[in-house]
Amino acid sequence: MFDQLSSLPPDPILGLMAAYRADSNPNKIDLGVGVYKDETGTTPVMKAVKAAESRLLSTQNSKAYVGPVGLDTFNDSVAELVFGKELTRKLGARRVTFQTPGGCGGLRLAAEFIQRIKPGSRILVSDPTWANHVPLLGDAGLEIETYPYYDRGCHSIRFDEMMAVLANAGPNDLVLLHGCCHNPCGADLTTEQWQAVATLADKNGFIPFIDLAYHGLGDGLDEDAYGLRLLAETVPEMIVVNSCSKNFGLYRERTGGLSIITTSEQSSRAAASQVAAIARGIYSMPPDHGASVVAEILQDDTLRQQWDNELREVRQRINALRSQLVTALKARQVAEDFSFIEREKGMFSFLGLSVAQVQTLVTDYSVYLVDSSRINVAGINNSNIDYLADAIANVVAS
């Protein structure tokens, strides 16, 4: 059965990681992989997470199965985190939330849910979008199309073109929107633009599908949720997938949530039964540890405060690095205007370089980034920023 198998080409980002590890240049910089890194270049375990883990270690007295929808305490507290207390109360039983194996698990579960109720439904995703959206949604059977989003030349959102395409989406379509901190471009909708999207969604009936993978890494927990909360107030049906990988630093624990909003308690109950059955058929039930940690943090005032503070530090560090990089490039009198980096949010931005320029950065300067010139801003720190700015300045000048 396996004799005729051919190998798939290696994932470019894994290749980049391997090349970075093998590089002996002491000045090498990794701007490729999408994990948060602190000033020392490590991806830390948050103190609030450590504290919650040590509590769990002493109090958890059973590892019995939890069930396909996960922990109720996680689902309830994550819903309040995503939608806010007041809106959660307002949505009431129209909203159901399920614990999922990371954001990826939530995206796939949602796609399987749509495929089950309306096979081959169309989902419009931004151009560009996170590359994994394609297998996560498409492999479930959804038909993926794109809407214009980011203009790489002008470093801005192609909002009029986006709206023109979305105007043709209707009740049988889903529209995937990044809740905040767009991956890969870092450009988010303004409040006015979210309002226009919400009005259009309500008028035309397409279903907003929000991917919230960087909640709290942009402007703040409430600010980053503005768009999705506005949509949830406006439209009758909606899907939100949130990840706890970045904002709780729980990457490998596979912790996320899927929320579905319907028009009635009865429809939500029906949706919940379908989603539970799909989860049963794929992975039976989500892993517990990360979700228990999140529930412990969100339900305890002291841990919650500690986590808020730590998340604020992460956010402020990323935003400071953005400003520092722009200043450092200006100081080198680079002809290009890189000020867009300061306006963008979250871990990613495109530098706007050609593939050849990216290759030069990798081979001549040991600055590792993917061909699209997307950088992980959190890979920058006080010790490498000058070297990085010199490298970029030299590459764009030559």
* Binding footprint of ligand PMP on the chain (CB under 6 A): 34, 102-104, 130, 183, 211, 213, 243, 245, 251, 256
Could you tell me the smallest distance in angstroms from the CB atom of residue 251 to ligand PMP? 6
| Count helices and strands in the chain by DSSP H and E runs | 16, 13
Q: What string of DSSP letters covers 192-218? A: HHHHHHHHHHHHH--EEEEEESSTTSS
147's enclosing H/E stretch is strand 143-148
In the complex with ligand PMP, the residue whose CB is nearer, 175 or 396, is: 175
| Pairwise CA distance, residues 220 & 168, whole Å | 33
Min dist CB 137 to ligand PMP, Å, is: 11
Is 99:74 a contact under the CB 8 Å cutoff?
yes
Phi and psi at residue 14, in whole multiples of 5°? Answer: -70, -35
* Least distance from ligand PMP to the Cβ atom of residue 34, Å: 5
Nearest to ligand PMP of 35, 272 (CB atom): 35
Asked about 85 being catalytic, the answer comes back as: no
Measured between alpha carbons, how far is 46 from 339 in angstroms, rounded to an integer? 31
Choosing from 37, 246, 307, 345, the catalytic residue is 246
Burial class for 33, CB neighbours closer than 10 Å (0-12, 13-18, 19+): middle
Residues 6+ apart with CB under 8 A from 160: none
> 104 or 197: whose CB is closer to ligand PMP?
104
Distance CA 372, CA 32 (A): 11
> What's the rounded Cα separation, in Å, for the pair 198 and 187?
18
Task: Classify residue 168 as exposed, middle or buried by CB count within 10 Å of its CB (0-12, 13-18, 19+).
Answer: exposed
Region of 144 on the Ramachandran plot (φ > 0 left; ψ -120 to 50 alpha; else beta): beta
In the complex, minimum distance from the CB of residue 382 to ligand PMP, in angstroms, rounded to a whole number: 25
- Shortest separation between residue 240's beta carbon and ligand PMP, angstroms: 12
Ramachandran area for residue 119 (φ above 0: left; ψ -120 to 50: alpha; else beta)? beta
Active-site residue 130, yes or no? Answer: yes
To the nearest whole angstrom, how small is the minimum distance from the Cβ of residue 103 to ligand PMP? 3
CB of 136 or CB of 367, closer to ligand PMP: 136
Asked whether the CA dihedral 351, 357, 362, 364 is positive or negative, the reply is: negative
- The amino acid at residue 193 is Q
Nearest CB to ligand PMP, comparing residues 36 and 338:
36
CB of 253 to ligand PMP, least distance (A): 9
> In this complex, which beta carbon is closest to ligand PMP, that of residue 232 or of residue 241?
241
Catalytic annotation on 211? yes
Which residue in the list 28, 30, 37, 130 is annotated as catalytic?
130
Cβ burial of 333 (10 Å; 0-12, 13-18, 19+) is exposed
CB of 327 to ligand PMP, least distance (A): 27
For residue 281, the SS3 value is helix
List, as one string, the DSSP characters of 329-397.
HHHTT-SS--THHHHS-SSEEE----HHHHHHHHHHH-EE--TT-EEEGGG--TTTHHHHHHHHHHHHH
Nearer to ligand PMP, 290 or 326 (CB): 290
Nearer to ligand PMP, 245 or 384 (CB): 245
| Catalytic residue (one of 173, 211, 224, 288) | 211
End-to-end CA distance of the chain: 53
Residues recognised as catalytic:
130, 211, 246
